[in-house]
Amino acid sequence: MSYSSNPGTFGFETTQRLSPTADGLGRDGARYGRTGIIHTPHGDIRTPAFIPVATQAAMKGIPPEQMKDLGAQALLSNAFHLFERPGEDVLDEAGGLGRFMNWSGPTFTDSGGFQVLSLGAGFKKTLAMDVTGLKSDQVIADGKERRAFVDEDGVTFKSPLNGNLHRFSAEISMGIQHKIGADVMFSFDELTTLMNTRSYQEESVERTYRWAQRCVAEHERLTEVRADKPYQALFGVVQGANYEDLRRRAAGQIASLPFDGVGIGGAIEKRLLGQTCAWICDEMPEERPRHVLGIAAVDDIFAGVENGGDTFDCVSPARCGRNGAVFTRDGRWNIMRACMRHDFRPIESDCDCYTCTHYTRAYICHLLHAHELNGLTLASIHNERFFVRLLDEIRASIDGGYFDDYKRETLARFYAHGSKG
């Protein structure tokens, strides 16, 4: 099956599907996992795929050429941060995000919706915690200042760079993202915390839907105005926190609009990640690609893929690498431990990344302790390759009919020693 909202510029086709099972989380035991191809003006993305995060049009410490060599098919950048610097007009003048950072493949931008959470309540995306009895609409993380203020029309942000006030709305976000020029954009949404009250979550879902309608209208207008530019696909974002009825309602709302794909967003309690994806896929046309925003724990990746995720992004691989945490088939561990100082093996013996084929654990341990930038680069290269390869292998397992065996063996090995991640 193939789908294209704009033939010749953007489209999606499914190549293989997982079979339903008795314990499948979707309707009638459905498992929405699949392989496919997303077609964009700057190339194809074979799914499932991991999309590394180049927040400010750059991977921290890794040139785009190296990202291509390690197998990345696309990169995702942050519209809010690029708006702050260098400004969307600079990227437009440069010929778009990809050309600006010398990346020839597909690109994604988020909408600024994540900053509603990170600058508002100060939390990270996934809150793997028990939130019973902690409901509050004024919640804010310890030591954080509220820098995002939501109203019906949009959000006022207080810049983390200089304290300036910035105004984002559906129309402003679309204008910024069109000038940035990524192949895939996301509609402007409100990302709540798991600790917001039920009544606020209801209000937020409806507000996000109204913003989505405005995003579609502005996207269509700008697409016509900028007809000389490559087509940019627009994905709607489904919110609703941990509530099944709100997730299904939001999915139906987004499905009713002419989006090119869907983003599965929001703060999601870890235990409900797979179920949340299944609820959304129950209500969503299967011909639209699905992007799971901000997920990179190994077990979460499997849960997301099995229940319908086509593409995934997260800052975790590079962020962990910069702090000395490396991902391997045998779990995540810290390469800065004292025992690494005399270990002259690669991080992982069967890894084909540039780091593992050229450098030892001892050398990387030394670089990180010495605060040498090369250490950050080498650890990050390995971690990004780990997740790109993991999704490549998951894709092969679905096509080859051995996904369940691959999932069981991979998770058993990775978590055998109680590893995080």
Instruction: List, as residue ranges, the binding site for Zn(2+).
Output: 351, 353, 356, 382
Burial (0-12, 13-18, 19+ Cβ within 10 Å), 63: middle
Residues in binding site for substrate: 110-114, 189, 239, 266
Among 92, 282, 300, 313, the active-site one is: 313
245 is catalytic: no
Among 110, 260, 282, 310, the active-site one is: 110
Residues in binding site: 110-114, 189, 239, 266, 351, 353, 356, 382
- Phi, psi of 95, rounded to the nearest 5 degrees: 105, 15
313 is catalytic: yes
Nearest partner of 104 among 65, 147, 158, judged by Cα:
65
Please name every residue paired with 318 in a beta bridge, in sequence order, or none if there are none: none
Residues tagged active-site: 110, 313
